[in-house]
Chains A and B, each alone.
Chain A
């Protein structure tokens, strides 16, 4: 990062004009928020696909335990520490599970939602020429990139990658093979990437808003990113501390998380003094990981709000209620973490506190969801592809939220904790919820990023099968959870109580593979449209927010002249305007 201008490098001799930057400065080591946003988004999408592939492998083992992979080509990709003649080993199953979670959350959804959409859209929506700290922004991306490479490389170290779950509970994670060390170092890079990014977002949103763009004229998406950045900034440092402590336990044989008297494999564990507490990790981890849930969901809500306002052709219902709710949600998300730990031996007082906060946090979530549904009332709803994804988000996120209720109450959690019910619950929040919203965002802002529209019928061919199969994957999990089937089981057939619902594993696995096939129209559409899509003008959706005032794609510096904001973000169907939309930056009547 010491290099401050292009002149010191032979390839940088083109001069100051950004349009003449060499390829590697313009597209690879770029400081332009739009390029960085696209880098984040594409890397994030690739990791989402990779994490999805890990899950599709696991689903084979779950549906047909102990049977060899049916595709010899696939089986040949794996060595004998992973699969033996196509039959998956339990340690490899655990690796796939741990890395599916890690990759989907830290390398897929967060980079796409915050790094991708945040970077690309926020400066445009607030009328800024770029992020406040462009070089810091570039550094965020490259730290993330290195973190991702370390995570991928860890698959190839002796003993394989991390296999103690994405939660990495000690002592299991401390006595695990060296892949766990790679995981911790990778996480350190990802954490620092997010920290730099969050500082950048907060500064940008506070400092670089266009004239006239007061906080209560900000699009809801910007508010969502603003709150998300505070969550990242305040929640990640404890995890960073915890990761360093676990790294010390592993490498220097400190005992932050190891109690006295551990006996592993029949022999007292050597070289550790003991005196630590495994629960300390859980508190530090969940202090991050619960706010992290809102890091995953808030940008998604922001995208859905934008798409709904645009496609109902009317203002959002309860814009201020949305903002107050999202800010309140942000605060509350810091004091609910121990509801992940009811069964660690928690007493009545502490669990009562965390149950109360958990019930309280459901209120703003209900308000947000209700507000979005009521926003549809009185609209003239266009069922565009982004709108389909945004609409599907609402009921599916609703299922995710509602099923949090029996988990948030500790008495019902006794039976449901660590079962497939939990898996179903958080996947409904993150996959049919957040990922559907992210797809809405891709379809919505694609013309802004590329200057071309994606193909509508391919989008619908992507949407409908995805909607059906994603419910086929996750809905049966609630039934399995009620039956008491534990999560993270390599072979569910071992348990009598898991056998009656084994047939559902086949249903879920087939749905998962079909869900994979259903992504083909998206991939085709994405690449086809980049090159041959119908040309889009600067405002193809007839939207009101500032990003649609810039050319498509926006040049370096974004706006041809600095925009001035005259009104709120969603002035659709205004009686004071002739047209059905009135852009924020338009002084005269539209």
Chain B
């Protein structure tokens, strides 16, 4: 199946059909209105062109049709609002899936990459801190936090299982980016200092893209991530491959024990844990 072309990209989300339907309803409305207007316009230009023997009319007619047309446009806009946009937005923004059944991820944008944070088997995100962020730990995961030991971090790789609701907490380390999954009809600015949740659910597997939709600097154009919808088993397998190795966990535990014997801990910001 073709993913991308000269029209809307393929939609593999459970909610996207509503957005697509609204887009097409509006475009049909626009087309009808514009073609009607334009034909009237051309006809008027032809009929009332200046020529010998043709005189303009001073006393203006009162046209009834435009009043009906305005009213029709207004009514249609009310329908678009009440029938489509309000409920769709409420569905997307407010009606989050059951947290217990959902996969939770954090997506932290930076110039020019997408850091993805999975909570690991315990289902709880470990503590993160800006002070710990560096090239090998771009998320600043505090591995002294026991809940962080099983946390999984990837760069530009967002894998999700098909037919499973996903709740993603979006934020940014530096400037404003915009988390755009064209095939999921998801787009949300990621703003530093803010944690914004979005949810989505894929109904079809495949290899897709994460795009950045907000100008974020000279590498904006190449801030592309991989968005992969896996069959459930493949996803579980992939996630296990990404998990920290036992020797890494052992090293972190030892380091944490050594640090605990010292009085001062690094200033840390607790990540909002999800349950």
Contacts and interface: CB of A to CB of B under 8 A. Distances in A.
Is B truly associated with A?
yes
A348 B191 contact: no
B173 A263 contact: yes
20 contacts: A94-B215, A165-B215, A169-B214, A263-B130, A278-B193, A312-B56, A356-B81, A363-B73, A380-B49, A380-B51, A398-B34, A410-B85, A412-B85, A415-B8, A416-B23, A417-B178, A482-B7, A483-B8, A496-B4, A500-B6
B267 to A, nearest CB: 10
A366 B5 contact: no
A378 B74 contact: no
A488 to B, nearest CB: 4
Given A175-B175, A378-B57, A572-B58, 19 more contacts: A94-B215, A171-B174, A259-B193, A259-B194, A264-B175, A345-B188, A347-B93, A348-B93, A359-B78, A366-B70, A395-B38, A399-B34, A402-B34, A412-B26, A414-B187, A415-B20, A418-B213, A494-B224, A500-B5
Interface string A397-416: 01100110110011110111
A260 B189 CA distance: 18
A367 B94 CA distance: 36
Contacts, number: 292
A491 interface: yes
A574 B66 contact: no
B131 A268 contact: yes
A208 interface: no
Interface string B62-93: 01001001100110011011001110111011
Interface string B196-220: 1000000000000101111111111
B248 interface: no
Interface stretch (A34-42, A233-241, A368-376, A444-452): A368-376
A362 interface: yes
Contacts of A572: 56, 58
A474 interface: no
Contacts of A165: 215
A574 B57 CA distance: 8
A569 B213 CA distance: 48
B89 A411 contact: yes
B224 A406 contact: no
Contacts of B221: 90, 488-492, 494
Contacts of A262: 130, 173-174, 192
A312 B48 contact: yes
Interface in A298-318: 312-315, 317-318
A318 B89 CA distance: 38
A411 B133 contact: no
- Taking residues whose C-beta sits less than 8 angstroms from the other chain, chain A's interface range is 35 or more
Interface string B1-23: 00111111100000000111011
A314 B33 CA distance: 26
A358 to B, nearest CB: 9
B56 A573 contact: yes
Contact of B92 (A91, A315, A318, A411): A411
A313 B50 contact: yes
A367 B213 CA distance: 34
Contact of B218 (A91, A169, A344): A91
Given A343-B189, A409-B81, A411-B88, A376 B45 contact: yes
A475 interface: no
B182 interface: yes
Nearest to A342: B89
Contacts of B78: 359
Nearest to B216: A172
A261 interface: yes
A426 to B, nearest CB: 16
A266 to B, nearest CB: 6
A419 B49 contact: no
B85 A411 contact: yes
B98 interface: no
Contacts of B232: none
B180 interface: yes
B34 A315 contact: no
Given A171-B176, A343-B178, A398-B37, A348 B90 contact: yes
A387 B59 CA distance: 22
A484 interface: yes
A356 to B, nearest CB: 7
Contact of B33 (A363, A402, A412): A402
Task: Please list the 5 inter-chain residue pairs (A to B) with the smallest Cβ-Cβ separation, ordered nearest first.
Answer: A259-B193, A411-B88, A378-B57, A484-B182, A490-B221
Contact of B212 (A266, A347, A486): A486
B57 A415 contact: no
B203 to A, nearest CB: 17
A351 interface: yes
A198 interface: no
A409 B80 contact: yes
A264 B176 CA distance: 12
A380 B275 CA distance: 74
Given A406-B26, A497-B3, A580 B56 contact: yes
B60 interface: yes
Interface in A323-366: 343-345, 347-348, 351-352, 355-356, 359, 362-363, 366
Contacts of B134: 266
B234 to A, nearest CB: 21
A508 interface: no
A415 B185 contact: yes
A566 to B, nearest CB: 16
Contacts of A484: 4, 8-9, 180, 182, 211
Contacts of A501: 6
A343 B196 CA distance: 10
Contacts of A561: none
Interface string B208-248: 01011111111111101000000000000000000000000
